[in-house]
Amino acid sequence: MTETNIEKLMSMIPDSHTCAMVTDPVNRRYFTGFRTSAGTVLCFRDKAYFIVDFRYYEKAAETVKGMDVILQDDADEQIAEILCRHAAETLMIEADTMTVSELREVSETFGDDVYIDSSPELSEMIRDLRIIKDDTALDKITEAQRIAEKGFEYVLENIKRGMTEKEVALMLDNRMKILGAEDISFDTIVLFDRNASLPHGVPGNDRLEKGFVLMDFGAVVDGYHSDMTRTFYAGTPSEREKKAYETVLKAQLAGIKAAAPGLTGKQLDAVARDIINATEFEGSFGHSLGHGVGMEIHEEPYVSSKKEDVLEPGMIITVEPGIYLPGEFGIRIEDMGMITEDSFNDITKAPKELIMI
């Protein structure tokens, strides 16, 4: 039987007198499978608890598995009682996400009874769990990706000249939600013509006339994100524009082909970057090649010229080279896939040939 996420964490707790406290919203959902704006997970080697308030308690009690769900009354007193019951000597906190003021409060509340471990250890344990996706996570990310692709197809069928960037973004967002997305992965990027030279520009009121249309978007299913970018053309592109698109596509396909376990993020980034830099568009690819995707839209590992992260089976990453020419145009093509035992499983199925509308 497959271990649940909370069982995996329980097996990583150093000893029977140590408790891990999880309060970060994303990590809390990762372990409970339940979306809340508040609540505390306490995890020991032999037992786990989820303390949550009245707003969420009834549903949490029905759906959260592998831990005792406790109705929150006085959270501090309840946590102290559980720590005492387990003879806890150490309380591990999430150093990467807990604020200084929250740490001060925890130390003042529980510091006389247990040692507050504010080292990176718990955050690193959670990172090691989240960075490798199991079949359940892969299925949800794939479902989110299919929703995003269907949304993109809908836009291609319904986009018209005269529409604004904002209107197209809203069209896509609404369609993804109609198709079953819990939410959108991030603020959808839709940029026309010259605006597309801004890699993460914000959709505005510019109207579609002629030129490249860059769209970066994703859907969320049960807390798991998808991420993709497609660039198409309104009208007929010039030879230079065609060459730029072909260069980005060549770099992206090379990156996908090269992606494999054992390669570092830096090495994979160089595969695509070197192709672009060998053309007249040298220096126009200013961001990293990719990043991890999961319960957050940007998470480890990072595929960057500055990162030595080693790719491992089970990691999901993006491959997204681009060319950005200020005042002219921008092009990005992004797929998302999983590192396998020997290569890369591209989850993205949307077409990549240059589409002209």
Per-residue pLDDT for the chain (357 aa), expressed as one digit of tens each? 688 999 999 999 999 999 999 999 999 999 999 999 999 999 999 999 999 999 999 999 999 999 999 999 999 999 999 999 999 999 999 999 999 999 999 999 999 999 999 999 999 999 999 999 999 999 999 999 999 999 999 999 999 999 999 999 999 999 999 999 999 999 999 999 999 999 999 999 999 999 999 999 999 999 999 999 999 999 999 999 999 999 999 999 999 999 999 999 999 999 999 999 999 999 999 999 999 999 999 999 999 999 888 999 999 999 999 999 999 999 999 999 999 999 999 999 999 999 999
Among positive and negative, which fits the CA dihedral 234, 347, 307, 343? Answer: negative
Indicate if 126 and 142 belong to the same structural domain. Answer: no
Indicate if 253 and 127 belong to the same structural domain. Answer: no
Residue with tokens 């329980």: 10
Indicate if 78 and 154 belong to the same structural domain. Answer: no
pTM of the model: 0.94
DSSP 4: P
CA angle, residues 238, 240, 243, in degrees to nearest 5: 110
Q: What is the pLDDT of residue 2?
A: 80
Of the candidates 284, 186, 282, 273, the residue with the CA atom closest to the CA atom of residue 229: 186
Residue 355 inside a domain? The answer is no
Distance CA(246)–CA(244), nearest Å, equals: 5
CA distances from 244 to 252, 277, 321 (A): 12, 12, 12
Edge-to-edge strand ranges of the sheet holding 48-52 = 68-71, 48-52, 40-43, 18-22, 90-92, 115-117
Residue 68 inside a domain? The answer is yes
CATH at 324: 3.90.230.10
Indicate if 280 and 304 belong to the same structural domain. Answer: yes
Indicate if 64 and 152 belong to the same structural domain. Answer: no
Torsion angle defined by CA atoms of residues 20, 21, 24 and 30, in that order, rounded to the nearest 10 degrees: 50
Strand-strand pairing, 316-319 and 322-325 = unpaired
Indicate if 180 and 329 belong to the same structural domain. Answer: yes
Look up the domain containing 285 and give its range. 135-346
Side chain identity, residue 166:
K
Residue with tokens 């991030």: 186
Distance CA(150)–CA(261), nearest Å, equals: 30
Q: What is the pLDDT of residue 309?
A: 87
Residue 351 inside a domain? The answer is no
DSSP 193: G
Residue 311 inside a domain? The answer is yes
Residue 287 inside a domain? The answer is yes
Q: What is the pLDDT of residue 63?
A: 94
Q: What is the pLDDT of residue 247?
A: 98
Residue 354 inside a domain? The answer is no
CATH at 36: 3.40.350.10
